Amino acid sequence: MRHHFYANFCFPGLLLAGLLALASPARAQTDLLRDLEKQTTDSTKREAVAATFKGTHIINSQSVETPGHGTLAFLIQHRFGTLNSGAYEFFGLDQAVLRLSFEYGLSDRLAVGVGRSSQEKTFDGFLKYRALRQSTGAHAAPVSVTLFASSAITTLKFNETANLSERTVGSRMDYAYQVLIARKFSPSLSVQLMPTLIHRNYVALAGMQNDVYAIGAGLRQKLTKRVALTADYFYVLPGYVADNYHNALGLGFDIETGGHVFQLHFTNSKGMTEKFFVPQTDGNFFKGDVYFGFTVARNFTIKSQL
Amino acid sequence: MKRPFFLLLAFFSLTALSHSHAQSKFMTKTGRVSFFSASPIEDIEAKNQQVAAVLDFAGSQLAFSVPIKAFVFKRTLMQEHFNENYMESDKFPKATFSGRFVGFDAATLATAGPHNVQVQGDLTLHGVTHHMEAPASVELKDGQLLAFAVFAVATADYNIEIPLLVRSNIAKIVTVRVALACDPVAGGAVGAATPAH
C-alpha cells in the first residue's frame, strides 16, 4: 500500500528533483570559474608595461630601459670605418672604434654605469633613473620617463702645440643630460623622444657653443618575437653646431637570443658616447659616410630575484 | 496514518535535498603555484603567489585562475622572455583550470589528516585547452583547507614554442606544484542542490 502511494505522488516529484540535481553540476562548473574570475578581475590594479625596448640602447641613444634590480649588463659596442672607404680599407672593416660598458641596476628604478670608448680615449660614467613607468589600470601613465645624466672625460694626451694653460682637467670633461620619454604603443611598436643637452667644458674654436641642445627620436618595430627593426635620429637645434656637422641617424636590427641581444646597425656617427654623436657627427649618411657596427649586450644576474 | 507519514517523508526529503556540509566551499586569492624545468644546461624555476582558487566539495568542483605576469623568476630577463616570447601574456593574461573531484565524499574532510583525491578537468594555458588528470591531497586543518598537487605539463600541448637555440635549456615536460591554504566561504554549496548520501 505504501508502494502505491509512492508510485502516484512521490515518485514523479523525486524523479524531477533528481533530474534537476543531475543537470546542474556541468553548468555549475564553468559558473564556478566565471564567478572566480569576476571576483579576481581587479580593474583598479596598476600594471606596469614591461619591455618597451629589448635593451638599454636603441642604436646610438639610450633607451628608457635599465638592467633591472640586481642585474649587470655588459655592452660591447663596435663600429667599423665608413663603407665608402674603398676596397683597400675593406670598406671600412679594417678600422674600428670600440666602447665597452657595464651598467648595474641598483634597484628597479636606478641604474649606474661606466664605459670606456677608444675614441679620444674617453671614460664615461652615468646614472639612469626611471622616474615614471608606463602602466595600465589605476593611476595609469601613458609614457615611461627615464632621466639620464652622464659625464665623460677624455684621457688623450694633449698635442704639444696646444695652448697648455687652457687645457686643464676640467677642459677634458663633457656632460650629457637627457629626458627619455617612451611609449609602448603595441607589443611590437615602441617610440621614444629625447630632449638632450650636451655641455662641453672646452670647445676648440671661438664660434663653437659649449651648450648644445638637441631633440632625439627613436623607435623599435618588432618583426618577429625576437627580431626587431630599430632607428634613432638626433636633431640638433639650429645655431648650436657648425654647418659641417650633421644630425646623427642610425638604422638597425635587434636579434634576441637567450641572454644576449645582438644589435646590428648602420649610422653616420663615428662616436658612441653622447658627447660625440650628438654634436660631432660629421658623416653624411646619403654620401656613403655610413659606419657599420654592432652592439652585443649580455645580462648577468648578480642578485637572484627568487 | 498515511498522511503524517507522507508529510514526514517529504520533510526529510527536503532537508536531504538542501543539505550541505557546514564547511564545504573554500577559496583563496594567494595560492602558490610554481613550476620547474630541469635540463642539462639550465634549471628554470618560477613561483607565483597570486593564484585564485575555489574548491567546492559539496558540488565536487574546483576552479583556478593564475595570472601569468605574477610568476617570479630568479632573473628578470627570464621573466621578460617568459611573458613576451613564450607565454605571450599580453594576449593570454591568465591560465585557468576548471574541474572536479572524482569520487570524493565531502564528509571525509571532517576526519583529520590529509586525504588523497583524484582531480580531473580542463586546463587552459596560452589559449589552448587540454583535459588533464592529477592526484591531489586535501586536508582540513584549523578551519583552513590545505591542498597540494604535483603534475606535469608538456609545453608542446599548449602551443608554447621553444626556439631551436634554447631547446636544450628548456625541458619539454615541466613539473608544476600547487600549494593552497584556502579559507571557508560563507554559505556553503551555493546553486547546486545535491542529495546527501
Strand partners, A119: none
- 3-state SS class at A36: helix
- Residues A64-75 have a mean pLDDT of 94
Return the percentage of chain A with pLDDT > 90, whole number. Answer: 60
Distance, CA of A65 to CA of B77 (rounded, Å): 12
- Let me know if residue B164 belongs to a domain: yes
Measured in angstroms, the CA of A135 and the nearest CA of chain B are apart by: 13
**At A16, is the pLDDT very low, low, confident or very high (cuts 50, 70, 90)?**
low
**At A206, is the pLDDT very low, low, confident or very high (cuts 50, 70, 90)?**
confident
Which of B17, B59, B63 lies nearest to residue A36, judging by beta carbons?
B63
Residue ranges of the domains in chain A?
A: 1-41, 47-301
* Contact between chains at B17 and A17 (C-beta distance less than 8 A): yes
- Let me know if residue B14 belongs to a domain: no
Question: What was the pLDDT predicted at A29?
Answer: 60
Grid coordinates given for B47: 613561483
Question: What was the pLDDT predicted at B32?
Answer: 96
Question: What was the pLDDT predicted at B8?
Answer: 61
| Nearest C-alpha in B relative to A1 | B2
Measured in angstroms, the CA of A71 and the nearest CA of chain B are apart by: 8
Residue B19 scores a pLDDT above 80:
no
Measured in angstroms, the CA of B29 and the nearest CA of chain A are apart by: 8
**At A74, is the pLDDT very low, low, confident or very high (cuts 50, 70, 90)?**
very high
The rounded mean pLDDT for chain B is 84
Residue A27 scores a pLDDT above 70:
no
* Contact between chains at A305 and B165 (C-beta distance less than 8 A): no
Distance, CA of A285 to CA of A250 (rounded, Å): 9
- Let me know if residue B10 belongs to a domain: no
* Contact between chains at A28 and B59 (C-beta distance less than 8 A): yes
* Contact between chains at A20 and B193 (C-beta distance less than 8 A): yes
Residue B26 scores a pLDDT above 90:
yes
C-alpha closest to that of A56 among A11, A101, A106 = A101
* Contact between chains at A51 and B84 (C-beta distance less than 8 A): yes
Distance, CA of A40 to CA of A300 (rounded, Å): 35
Residue pLDDT, tens place only, B154-182: 998 999 988 877 888 888 899 999 999 99
**At A14, is the pLDDT very low, low, confident or very high (cuts 50, 70, 90)?**
low
Residue pLDDT, tens place only, A157-175: 887 776 777 778 888 999 9
Question: What was the pLDDT predicted at B134?
Answer: 95
Residue A6 scores a pLDDT above 60:
no
Residue pLDDT, tens place only, B178-187: 999 999 987 5
Interface ipTM: 0.76
- Residues A253-268 have a mean pLDDT of 90
C-alpha closest to that of A273 among A181, A189, A188, A175 = A175
- Let me know if residue B191 belongs to a domain: no
Residue A211 scores a pLDDT above 90:
yes
* Contact between chains at A36 and B9 (C-beta distance less than 8 A): no
B105 touches chain A (CB under 8 A): no
Least confident of A166-175, A218-227, B127-136, B188-197: B188-197
Question: What was the pLDDT predicted at B66?
Answer: 95
Cβ(B100)–Cβ(B118) under 8 Å?
no
Grid coordinates given for B79: 621573466
Residue pLDDT, tens place only, A82-93: 998 889 989 899
Q: Domain range for residue B161? A: 23-184
Name the more confident of A139 and A232.
A232
* Contact between chains at B76 and A306 (C-beta distance less than 8 A): no
* Contact between chains at A226 and B69 (C-beta distance less than 8 A): no
Question: What was the pLDDT predicted at B12?
Answer: 54
* CATH number of the structural domain A47-301: 2.40.160.40
Residue pLDDT, tens place only, A104-145: 999 999 999 999 999 999 999 999 999 999 998 888 999 999
Which of A21, A29, A30 lies nearest to residue B194, judging by beta carbons?
A21
Question: What was the pLDDT predicted at A47?
Answer: 85
Measured in angstroms, the CA of B111 and the nearest CA of chain A are apart by: 25
Number of domains in chain B: 1
| Nearest C-alpha in B relative to A20 | B193
Q: What is the DSSP letter of B73?
A: E
Distance, CA of A2 to CA of B169 (rounded, Å): 72
The rounded mean pLDDT for chain A is 88
- 3-state SS class at A302: coil
Residue B17 scores a pLDDT above 70:
no
Question: What was the pLDDT predicted at A137?
Answer: 84
- Let me know if residue B1 belongs to a domain: no
- Let me know if residue B160 belongs to a domain: yes
Q: What is the DSSP letter of A157?
A: P
- Residues B48-60 have a mean pLDDT of 93
CATH number for the domain that contains residue B169:
2.40.128.110
Question: What was the pLDDT predicted at A60?
Answer: 94
Name the more confident of B136 and B40.
B136
- CB < 8 Å from A in window 108-167 of B: 121, 163, 165-166
Q: Residue B192: list chain A partners with CB under 8 A.
A: 21, 24-25, 28
Q: What amino acid occupies position B159?
A: N
Measured in angstroms, the CA of A231 and the nearest CA of chain B are apart by: 21
- If one counts every other C-beta atom within 10 angstroms of the C-beta of residue B183, the result is 13
